[in-house]
Chains A and B, each alone.
Chain A
Amino acid sequence: MTTRDEITAGLAEILEEVAGVSPDDVAESKSFTDDLDVDSLSMVEVVVAAEEKFGVKIPDDEVQNLKTVGDAVSYIEKASA
């Protein structure tokens, strides 16, 4: 079972790799687009990398609901439960 903190840390690694976001800036309250400056194409990379890292499927329909890091953590937590 992966904890929320572990998922957040994993997302921070991905965000640093694909979008150059500093891990220190990543928190559950942060918006991908407004706070972390992740554009739509980079978001696609984040999603594909997260699917691989956490062994989950994140359908394209779901991606628009993932506004914040916390939204993504919750989705991954539920999907991997």
Chain B
Amino acid sequence: MSRREVVVTGLGATTPLGGDVASTWEAMVAGRSGVIALTQDWAQQLPVRIAAAMKVDPGTVLDRVKLRRLDRSEAAALIAAHQAWADAGLADAGVDGERLAVVVGSGIGGATTLLNQDDILEASGPRKVSPHTIPMLMPNGPAAWVGLELGAKAGVHAPTSACATGAEAVAWALDILRSGRADVAVAGGTEAVIHPLPLAGFAAMRAMSTRNDDPEAASRPFDKGRDGFVLGEGSGAMVLETEEHARARGARIYARLAGAAMTSDGYDIVQPDPQGHGIVRAINAALRDADVAASDIAHVNAHATSTAVGDIAEIAALRHARVTNAVVTSTKSMTGHLLGAAGAVESIAAILSVYHGIVPPTINLDDPDDALDLDVAALKARHLEVPAALNDSFGFGGHNAVLVFTKA
């Protein structure tokens, strides 16, 4: 039996660059930064006072009463998923719910709900704690809400693998569609933890940029002056379907999700393996799964978060896997690091690179690291045919997820 091919038919996102895919993509191609100074009182005592907040606040998109029962990460996921659903032409047409699956993960989940409700508990006692607290903070909450609103009954799943989550969600959805457990899947990631505790926690790991006086220049993957990642928030979602299902309904196809692979480092809880063995194995396996040669990869949307070790370990891994003909970029230079949403938003960028033949720039790459020996789209977008693209995503815990998108 031949394998069920899977294609991308709908995209949705709300990011630091825009409230939808069109505005996000336009800002990416133009090379605009979404990083801003945190001017709130609570931020002033923190070592990190910059972040990439969603450009369009979910509070201006969703109904006030509905927002009372949604964590911000759930609200973002719902916005992205509904956009993707409409973009796929399914808002009115719909699909058989028993053939529809949802895979939407989050790296951290409803941490801001947990912290806000703890403030209420401390100040006013248990009776004032919201009855919506648990469904707001549970990590499967975003997936469950998306599944509920779209009527998904083939299964609703919430993988969690820190900053690899969004890409893992897409990889699991591919498995679900190939195995025949569903014909259509909504896959993505979401994150919204711009709050003093997560900021302080990441800052305590010395993982974040402290370029507080120049927010737009703070996220600078591959640049000699990089000093850590910038926390971002938002969500990305895509509609995946079997090619047969998409063709039968005459859907517009952005790209083929040709292959995926997931590996684990078995090295350290947070440090990337400096040899990049796990990354290399993931790239090799994803290419085999997609039946694409390493030399045919024209573009890599890299994980590169703007940390000293990670960015160069990834470059070394790409070289080791012989992905050397690609124009590489890190859109995190503009969006910041969306943690559990990063792999989803960056996959959307990679898909649009395949679809439009444009690779967005890595901004702030003024002074490339001496170890950078691959072609990176520094500062300006590149126009080139992209028959095949990779998205890399890695997460604390040693998770590596690699996706291969090809022209349909």
| Residues of chain A at the chain B interface (Cβ within 8 Å) | 18-20, 41-42, 44-45, 48
A41-B131, A41-B132 given; name 8 further pairs at CB < 8 Å.
Answer: A18-B65, A18-B68, A20-B65, A41-B69, A41-B135, A42-B131, A45-B130, A48-B127
Residue of B nearest to A20 (CB): B65
Q: Do residues A44 and B131 form an inter-chain contact, with CB atoms below 8 A?
A: yes
Once the chains are docked, how many angstroms separate the CA of A42 from the CA of B131? 8
- How close is A63's CB to chain B, nearest CB, in angstroms? 12
Once the chains are docked, how many angstroms separate the CA of A6 from the CA of B91? 43
- How close is A37's CB to chain B, nearest CB, in angstroms? 11
Q: Which chain A positions have C-beta within 8 A of B127?
A: 48
A-B contact pairs, 16 of them (CB 8 A): A18-B65, A18-B68, A19-B65, A20-B63, A20-B64, A20-B65, A41-B69, A41-B131, A41-B132, A41-B135, A42-B131, A44-B131, A45-B130, A45-B131, A48-B127, A48-B128
Q: Which chain A positions have C-beta within 8 A of B135?
A: 41
Chain B interface secondary structure, helix, strand, loop or mixed?
Answer: loop
Which size bracket describes the interface of B in this complex? 10 to 19
Chain A interface secondary structure, helix, strand, loop or mixed?
Answer: helix
- How close is A57's CB to chain B, nearest CB, in angstroms? 10
Q: Which chain A positions have C-beta within 8 A of B131?
A: 41-42, 44-45
Once the chains are docked, how many angstroms separate the CA of A67 from the CA of B63? 27
Once the chains are docked, how many angstroms separate the CA of A44 from the CA of B131? 7
Residue of B nearest to A19 (CB): B65
Once the chains are docked, how many angstroms separate the CA of A42 from the CA of B130? 9
Q: Which chain B positions have C-beta within 8 A of A20?
A: 63-65
Residue of A nearest to B64 (CB): A20
Residue of A nearest to B134 (CB): A41
Q: Which of B40-83 contact A (CB under 8 A)?
A: 63-65, 68-69
Q: Chain B, 97-133, contact with A by CB distance < 8 Å: what is the 0/1 string?
A: 0000000000000000000000000000001101110
Q: Which chain B positions have C-beta within 8 A of A19?
A: 65
Residue of A nearest to B65 (CB): A20
Q: Which chain B positions have C-beta within 8 A of A42?
A: 131
Once the chains are docked, how many angstroms separate the CA of A44 from the CA of B64? 18
Q: Which chain B positions have C-beta within 8 A of A41?
A: 69, 131-132, 135
- How close is B59's CB to chain A, nearest CB, in angstroms? 15
Q: Which chain A positions have C-beta within 8 A of B132?
A: 41
Residue of A nearest to B129 (CB): A48
Q: Which chain B positions have C-beta within 8 A of A48?
A: 127-128
> What are the 6 A-B residue pairs with the smallest beta carbon separation, nearest first?
A20-B65, A44-B131, A41-B131, A41-B132, A48-B127, A45-B131
Residue of B nearest to A49 (CB): B128
Residue of B nearest to A45 (CB): B131
- How close is B131's CB to chain A, nearest CB, in angstroms? 4
Once the chains are docked, how many angstroms separate the CA of A20 from the CA of B135? 19
Once the chains are docked, how many angstroms separate the CA of A48 from the CA of B127? 7
Once the chains are docked, how many angstroms separate the CA of A20 from the CA of B68? 10
Q: Which chain B positions have C-beta within 8 A of A18?
A: 65, 68
